[in-house]
């Protein structure tokens, strides 16, 4: 009997023993094409010799030094590299061990910033419905995915949610994308005014929504208007790039495509590329200086902040993304993937939308293409597609709850940046087989 407490307690899952390139192998020798990089994690693929060598060297040189006493060379070098490429005004990097720790730290930093500025009444957070910002209690409160929140609701602090920028479903007939973007952004201003600007500390959003919507970018102009609104009311803009950051969308930082810069930026997943658990919260020099010139101490911390081995892995990963032109490659292979998805599923009766940026693509599964009606959640199609794809040797990331609660299904694809054209063909073929098995029979 296994003593591991697995995610799904009722089923037995294979044991992964090896990874190479875009494939994972289980103990029976079965290969799985990693079409979603796990959960948009493995951006360099598996078994990257440079990252492995960097980790091995760092473990031998210095495995751990507590950041309460000492900094480390890899943490300093990784921070320098990130800041060299970061959006305007972002000047400081706070290393953590994953995405939830990054968003959690961002919420606390926003709160402390306003306290140190002498505005303690600024305490409210606005985020968006159908969003996910992590599973720890602060991050879970920020998220607007009802299914994930429901049973923990009594434990969560009050966060105010507005609609996501979700063109496929929320843009009205005859409305231009630009007009829709402004209307969606207007919800933020309305909510700030409703709550009282003097009480609102921050707005949190993903530039391209991953797990909960399936690679949905905002329409052009949305984030520019969001930035203006935040500036007008002295509200911090926190961008969660835990999933969409680190080159996945074809830009090292996803918000570059939207032409804006946040006050606080969260990254994780692709930062360690699965080789080490690492995330980071980046912030402007202004936020950092306010705390430095105030109490001089960010009232937060974890034992493994800036872990040297994790930082060494992150440094090797980001050096490779930048040095080997992998953002460009993600953009190019993203076009190949997008075209292949359109060729295969563009006319599929149950694929309502194909969207995404770079190697971050999603398809939305619907009962009726004309009305965009989702399938009855009781059919459990997302889970069934995941199983059918896995059986066919494909790891992809289907999720239910795209519309809200459990309604609406999508499949998220986020393969390693090194994926080749023939592997994209394999991915599409296996996904088509899975869709055919699960919903092919649904009239």
If the CB atoms of residues 73 and 146 are measured against ligand PLP, the closer one turns out to be 146
Interacting residue with ligand PLP among 240, 258, 367, 409 (CB under 6 A)? 240
Whole-angstrom distance, CA of residue 135 vs CA of residue 148: 8
Contacts of 312 (CB under 8 A, 6+ apart): 54, 55, 57, 58, 74, 276
Contacts of 403 (CB under 8 A, 6+ apart): 130, 169, 374
If the CB atoms of residues 291 and 382 are measured against ligand PLP, the closer one turns out to be 382
If the CB atoms of residues 111 and 248 are measured against ligand PLP, the closer one turns out to be 248
Shortest Cβ distance from residue 254 to ligand PLP (Å)? Answer: 11
95 binds ligand PLP (CB under 6 A): no
Shortest Cβ distance from residue 265 to ligand PLP (Å)? Answer: 12
Q: Between vectors from CA 375 to CA 370 and to CA 381, what angle results, nearest 5°? A: 130
Interacting residue with ligand PLP among 213, 215, 265, 268 (CB under 6 A)? 268
104 binds ligand PLP (CB under 6 A): no
Site string for ligand PLP, 62-81 (x = CB under 6 A): --------------------
Shortest Cβ distance from residue 346 to ligand PLP (Å)? Answer: 27
**Token duo for residue 408:** 């609406």
Task: Using CB under 6 A, count the residues that bind ligand PLP.
Answer: 15
Site string for ligand PLP, 125-144 (x = CB under 6 A): -------xxx----------
Whole-angstrom distance, CA of residue 339 vs CA of residue 21: 23
211 binds ligand PLP (CB under 6 A): yes
Within 220-354, residue ranges assigned H as helices are 222-232, 285-293, 308-323, 326-345
Please list the helix, strand and coil fractions of the chain in percent, rounded to the nearest 5, in that order. 40, 20, 40
Nearest-10 Cα torsion for 366, 396, 280, 273: -160
Q: Which helix (H) or strand (E) holds 234?
A: none
If the CB atoms of residues 115 and 207 are measured against ligand PLP, the closer one turns out to be 207
37 binds ligand PLP (CB under 6 A): no
415 binds ligand PLP (CB under 6 A): no
CB atoms within 10 A of CB 245: 31
CA distances from 245 to 225, 274, 284, 318, 414 (A): 21, 14, 17, 11, 12
Stretch that binds ligand PLP, among 119-127, 205-213, 319-327, 333-341 (CB under 6 A): 205-213
If the CB atoms of residues 268 and 438 are measured against ligand PLP, the closer one turns out to be 268
Residues that bind ligand PLP (CB under 6 A): 39, 98-100, 103, 132-134, 206, 210-211, 240, 242-243, 268
């Amino acid at each position: 009997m296994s003593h591991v407490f697995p995610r799904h307690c009722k089923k037995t899952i294979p044991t992964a023993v090896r990874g190479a390139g875009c494939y994972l192998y289980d103990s029976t020798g079965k290969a799985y094409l990693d079409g979603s990089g796990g959960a948009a994690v493995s951006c360099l693929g598996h078994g990257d010799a440079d990252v492995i060598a960097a980790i091995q060297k760092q473990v031998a040189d210095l495995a751990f030094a507590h950041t309460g006493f000492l900094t480390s060379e890899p943490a300093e070098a990784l921070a320098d590299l990130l800041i060299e490429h970061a959006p305007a005004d972002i000047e400081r990097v706070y290393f953590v061990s994953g995405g939830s720790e990054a968003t959690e730290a961002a919420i606390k930093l926003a709160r402390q910033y306003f306290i140190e500025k002498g505005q303690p009444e600024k305490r409210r957070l606005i985020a968006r419905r159908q969003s996910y910002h992590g599973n720890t209690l602060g991050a879970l409160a920020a998220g607007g995915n009802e299914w994930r929140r429901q049973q923990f609701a009594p434990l969560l602090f009050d966060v105010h949610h507005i609609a996501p920028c979700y063109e496929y479903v929320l843009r009205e007939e005859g409305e231009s994308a630009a007009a829709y973007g402004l209307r969606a952004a207007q919800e933020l201003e309305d909510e700030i005014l409703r709550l009282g600007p003097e009480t609102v500390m921050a707005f949190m959003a993903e530039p391209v929504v991953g797990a909960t919507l399936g690679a949905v970018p905002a329409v052009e102009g949305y984030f520019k208007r969001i930035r203006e609104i935040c500036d007008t009311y002295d509200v911090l803009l926190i961008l969660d790039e835990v999933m969409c950051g680190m080159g996945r969308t074809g830009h090292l930082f996803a918000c570059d495509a939207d032409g804006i810069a946040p006050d606080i930026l969260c990254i994780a997943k692709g930062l360690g590329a699965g080789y080490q658990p690492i995330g980071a919260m980046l912030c402007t020099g202004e936020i950092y200086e306010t705390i430095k010139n105030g109490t001089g101490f960010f009232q937060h911390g974890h034992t493994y902040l800036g872990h040297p081995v994790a930082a060494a892995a992150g440094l090797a990963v980001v050096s490779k993304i930048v040095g080997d032109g992998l953002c460009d490659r993600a953009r190019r292979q993203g076009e190949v993937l997008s075209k292949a998805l359109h060729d295969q599923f563009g006319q599929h009766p149950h694929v309502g939308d194909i969207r995404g940026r770079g190697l971050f693509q999603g398809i939305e599964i619907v009962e009726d293409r004309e009305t965009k009606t989702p399938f009855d959640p009781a059919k459990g199609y997302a889970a069934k597609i995941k199983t059918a794809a896995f059986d066919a040797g494909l790891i992809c990331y289907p999720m239910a709850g795209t519309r809200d609660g459990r309604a609406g299904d999508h499949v998220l694809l986020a393969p390693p940046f090194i994926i080749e054209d023939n592997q994209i063909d394999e991915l599409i073929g296996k996904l088509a087989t899975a869709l055919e098995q699960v919903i092919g029979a649904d009239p």
